[in-house]
Amino acid sequence: MSEAKLQVDNLSIQFINDGRTTDAVRNVSFSLGREKLAIVGESGSGKSTVGRSLLRLHPASARISADTLRFGDLNLLDADEKTLRSIRGRRISMIMQDPKYSLNPVMTVGAQITEAYLAHHRVSQREARKQTLEMLEKVHIRDPERVYSLYPHEVSGGMGQRIMIAMMLIPNPEIIIADEPTSALDVSVQQQVLSVLDELVTQRNLGLIFISHDLNLVRNFCDRVLVMYAGRVVESIRAADLDQAQHPYTRGLLAALPSLTQRRERLPVLQRDPSWLTD
């Protein structure tokens, strides 16, 4: 963990709908170095909103405020649309949950990756194609030449997600935000995708923000975990230390998970404490 690539202090996000204000994110602070940081929470906890707001991809009804929202030496909070466009994809890229919806259905997989590369590099079409094939190989696709000319509906979910990873990594970004990248996949495929992601992130020394609802998945895959509840970070802990989590919410989540090895008559139900919302 060297210098921070991303520094976030007191990030708050509100949604304004029909004159009603809802706080989606409240005073979230963290910094990201060359590491794998997980943001974990249940639906409605604001974890995805945090991820999107870093790229300023939030809906128009959202109001963002923060003391610091710094990427390298750039202030993301004041950056204009043009600067942001040059950052999105090129320096920070995002992997979404379902490759089915994030890939363009009428373009071949290869053409899409090539386009992503060309958007940020001035090279010939042939060079871009060569880079694409190399990238496909890096995400462990066995026959890149064949996969290059496939359409998204012709590839399986696991391969689609690896293609997404290839597409997001080809411009060589510094930070990747992965929003539930494996929840739409089967367990066996999940592991493949995660190991590909892990390999590339480690190799290239990137910062990864891994947004997930699955504490168990995250505990092996990431270095550090932020646990969010109702828009707040209730606990920030090293993944290896999750067993010693302090906050009752984190502990409740861990206990509520049915497991293969520890069988219990009843699962302990999480008792939500209103004081979690205030302190």
The verdict on 27 binding another protein (CB under 8 A) reads no
The verdict on 248 binding another protein (CB under 8 A) reads no
CA distances from 117 to 81, 173, 247 (A): 21, 11, 44
Q: Which of 95, 215, 227, 239: binder of another protein (CB under 8 A)?
A: 215
Residue 17 Cβ, how far from another protein at the closest point, in Å? 7
Q: Which of 134, 154, 186, 273: binder of another protein (CB under 8 A)?
A: 186
Alpha-carbon distance 66 to 47, whole Å?
A: 16
Q: Which residue type, as a one-letter code, is found at position 207?
A: G
Rank residues 8 and 215 by Cβ distance to another protein and give the closer one. 215
Rank residues 112 and 192 by Cβ distance to another protein and give the closer one. 192
Q: Which of 80, 81, 266, 279: binder of another protein (CB under 8 A)?
A: 266
End-to-end CA distance of the chain: 29
What would the x/- binding string for another protein be over residues 1 to 20, using CB under 8 A? --------------x-xx-x
Q: Do the Cβ atoms of 172 and 204 come closer than 8 Å?
A: yes
The verdict on 278 binding another protein (CB under 8 A) reads no
The verdict on 187 binding another protein (CB under 8 A) reads yes
Alpha-carbon distance 151 to 154, whole Å?
A: 5
Q: Which residue type, as a one-letter code, is found at position 25?
A: V
- Rounded to the nearest 5 degrees, what angle is found at the Cα of 230, between the Cα atoms of 272 and 8? 140
Find the part of the chain contacting another protein (CB under 8 A) among 66-74, 160-168, 214-222, 233-241.
214-222
Q: Which of 30, 148, 210, 221: binder of another protein (CB under 8 A)?
A: 221
**3-class SS string, 78-134:** CCCHHHHHHHECCCEEEECCCHHHHCCCCCCHHHHHHHHHHCCCCCCHHHHHHHHHH
The verdict on 24 binding another protein (CB under 8 A) reads yes
Q: Which residue type, as a one-letter code, is found at position 55?
A: L
Q: Do the Cβ atoms of 225 and 40 come closer than 8 Å?
A: yes
Size of the site for another protein (CB under 8 A): 49
| Site residues, another protein (CB under 8 A) | 15, 17-18, 20, 22-24, 42-49, 157, 186-192, 194-195, 198, 213-217, 219-221, 252-253, 256-261, 263-264, 266-270
